[in-house]
């Protein structure tokens, strides 16, 4: 399961957001399908499959990747970053994990047989 802000889920389901940058240590697996939610205990809003994963400095984000994040400019992305991570959290030297994904279902169950299953 992957948590996103509600506005980001809307962009994902519309096809305007296909990348996310994360600072956490837990990594998502390439090729795996994950439910997307805006709150932990809610039903999934859809499912995404991770199709690319790499690490880079936050300050090295390209304009193309800013657009893949669902934003029109670096300044807009930077404001969103600080809204999520706190004022002053933008550090161009911070190394983040970048996940590129595709939507494999909107709402309900994933259409892929490789969907995430509960851990036993």
3-state secondary structure of 36: strand
Q: Write down the pLDDT at residue 66.
A: 98
Buried (b) or exposed (e) across 7-33, using 16+ Cβ within 10 A? Answer: ebbebbbeeebbbbbeeeeeebeeeeb
Give the predicted TM-score (pTM) of the model.
0.86
3-state secondary structure of 78: helix
Does residue 70 contact residue 8 with C-beta atoms inside 8 Å?
yes
Using 50, 70 and 90 to split pLDDT, how confident is the model at 108? Answer: low
Does residue 114 contact residue 33 with C-beta atoms inside 8 Å?
yes
pLDDT exceeds 60 at position 79: yes
pLDDT exceeds 50 at position 113: no
Using 50, 70 and 90 to split pLDDT, how confident is the model at 114? Answer: very low
The span from the CA of 89 to the CA of 45, in Å, is 28
pLDDT exceeds 60 at position 116: no
8 vs 112, residue with greater confidence: 8
pLDDT tens column, 51-64 = 999 999 999 999 99
Q: Write down the pLDDT at residue 89.
A: 96
Report the CATH number of the 2-106 domain. 3.10.400.10
Domain locations along the chain: 2-106
Dihedral angle sign, alpha carbons of residues 1, 39, 14, 83 = negative
């Amino acid at each position: 399961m992957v948590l996103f802000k509600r506005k980001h889920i809307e962009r994902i389901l519309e096809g305007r957001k296909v990348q996310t940058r994360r600072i956490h240590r837990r990594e998502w697996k390439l090729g795996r399908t994950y439910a997307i939610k805006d709150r932990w205990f809610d039903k999934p809003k859809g499912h995404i499959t991770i199709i690319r994963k790499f690490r880079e400095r936050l300050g090295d984000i390209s304009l193309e990747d800013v657009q893949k994040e669902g934003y029109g400019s670096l300044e807009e992305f930077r404001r969103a970053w600080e809204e999520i991570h706190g004022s002053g959290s933008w550090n161009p030297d911070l190394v983040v994990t970048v996940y590129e994904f595709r939507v494999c279902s909107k709402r309900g169950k994933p259409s892929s047989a490789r969907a995430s299953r509960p851990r036993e």
